[in-house]
Amino acid sequence: MARRRHRVGHGRLVLVAAGKAASAMARAAEDVLGPVLSDALAVDVSDRIPLARTRRLLAGHPVPDEAGRRAADEVEALAHSLGPDDLLLLLVSGGASALLPAPAEGLTLDDKARTTAALLRAGATIAELNAVRKHLSRLKGGGLVRVAAPARVACLALSDVVGDDPSTIASGLAAPDPTTYDTALEVLERKGVRERVPAAVRRHLEAGARGERPETPKPGDPLFRRVAFDVVGSNRLSVAAAAREARRQGLRPLVLTTRLEGEAAEVARALTAMLRECVEEGRPAAPPVCLLAGGETTVTVKGAGRGGRNQELVLAAAEPLAGFPVGAVIASLATDGIDGNSDAAGGVVDDRTLARAGQLGLAPASAFLDDNDSWSFLGPLGDLIITGPTGTNVMDLTALVAGTRAQRRHGL
């Protein structure tokens, strides 16, 4: 992060924090800034972290709710009250998009909620989801900067997106938007949901594509001359910390990527194939090995079960792991502590998982995968990772570990 200095004392210093790490970030700002803060507001999913000077509002995620709409209205009003000598300190983290739903004129919260739900079920990536949401909102895609002008804006972000793109983090509340109404329509078409979203959403996007609605501010817009944007936390940092711990445990860590994307079950098969290569050929690393990957997979929901992308990923790995000649395990979790529509952060399976499931009389793993019901398979085995909300959000972390044949002979 670049070192920046921001002048205070000639106007108000107002803090707005939004996202799954809003309270943690606001608490840190309170510790540093204390009485210098003129006003402070945090919009979060949890009240677990105490705040002294910041007013907190709770809202729904991942589908926006009425509490979020009211919170967005308050944020908009606070930003609109700022003048040219004021500084808005904006602290954003993953989840801010859903927590601050400010529907564009002519749209309702239900319109946005149904559109978000349809895209999530269709397996849309966060970039695809945000391209649509930015064009249905008053605040996203640089809209908050437009409202706060002519005030200065300093945005510190925890990145929950692959590549740490400022225009995608929190749907680009303080960043120029390179996407257009045409982009949003293309996403709906590509994910097969154009006819399933509300008619008002289609009409709004189509009108925008015809030039009948104002576009989001683009790169080069003078609005952003008074905006400073820095990423202060990311998936790369969490993966690096995991590598250090693996090394401390006597394993050979190898970071595969911090840009992991794709359908969770397909990613699982690719990752376990890499681990098998390590075991049998000693490449790209020899056992005892720990392969690490960060990013965020997706799930195209076809069933009515309970779970999330991380639980689905590990469940899909259970069958290929069962044939390993050495002890092997794969764990995957969401760093925010909430995976999909469950109360778990993720899950863990090993080369004995299917055997243990058989002893409990569980149906084959494939049956649970077909119903997107990974939670119901992993739960009875005690293989869910449950942390509760963590107060941060830097995408997902997946770790694959394999021992040696000698360790297998000794029962390890």
Instruction: Tell whether 120 is covered by a domain.
Output: yes
Q: Are strands 328-334 and 252-260 parallel, antiparallel or unpaired?
A: unpaired
> Given a cut of 50, is residue 361 above it in pLDDT?
yes
Which stretch of 4-13, 31-40, 271-280 has the lowest confidence by average pLDDT? 4-13
* CATH code, domain with 260: 3.40.1480.10
Q: How confident is the model at residue 130 (pLDDT cuts 50, 70, 90)?
A: confident
Q: What is the residue whose two structure tokens read 């989801």?
A: 129
Q: Name the one residue in this structure whose structure tokens are 């999330």.
A: 308
Q: What is the CA radius of gyration of the chain?
A: 23
Say if residue 195 is in the same domain as residue 246. no
What is the mean predicted confidence (pLDDT) over 27-44?
96
Tally the domains of the chain.
2
Residue 392 contacts residue 233 (beta carbons within 8 Å): yes
Model confidence band, residue 53 (pLDDT cutoffs 50, 70, 90): very high
pLDDT at 81: 97
Question: Residue 313: inside a domain, yes or no?
Answer: yes
Mean pLDDT of 10-37: 95
Say which CATH number the domain at 119 has. 3.40.50.10180
Residue tagged 């590598």 (tokens): 243
Whether residues 273 and 325 share a domain: the answer is: yes
Q: Is the pLDDT of residue 412 over 90?
A: no
Q: What pLDDT, in 10s, does the model give residues 292-349?
A: 999 999 999 999 999 999 999 999 999 999 999 999 999 999 999 999 999 999 999 9
C-beta neighbour count of 194 within 10 angstroms: 16
pTM reported for the whole predicted model: 0.81
Domain housing 273: 235-409
Domain boundary among 199, 232, 265: 232
DSSP 6: -
Q: Note whether residue 328 is domain-resident.
A: yes
Phi, psi for 402 (deg, rounded to 5): -135, 135
Same domain, 257 and 355: yes
Residue 1 located in a structural domain: no
In a shared domain, residues 256 and 335: yes
348 within 8 A of 355, measured Cβ to Cβ: no
Instruction: With respect to residue 7, please indicate whether it lies within any of the assigned structural domains.
Output: no
What length is written for the chain? 412
**Does position 1 have pLDDT exceeding 50, yes or no?**
no
Element (H, E) at 264: helix 264-281
| 3-state SS record for 205-238 | HHHHHCCCCCCCCCCCCHHHHHEEEEEEECHHHH
Residues 266, 162 share a domain: no
Q: Sorting pLDDT into bands at 50, 70 and 90, what band is 391?
A: confident
Residue 184: pLDDT over 60: yes
| 206, 232, 258 - which closes a domain | 232
Cβ atoms of 278 and 289 closer than 8 Å: yes
Number of other CB atoms surrounding residue 199 within 10 Å = 9
pLDDT band at 406 (very low <50, low <70, confident <90, very high): low
Q: Per-residue confidence at 285, pLDDT binned at 50, 70, 90?
A: very high
If asked whether residues 176 and 241 sit together in one domain, one would say no
| Residue 53 three-state SS | coil
Nearest to 237 by CA among 167, 127, 101, 335: 335
pLDDT (mean) for 50-57? 97
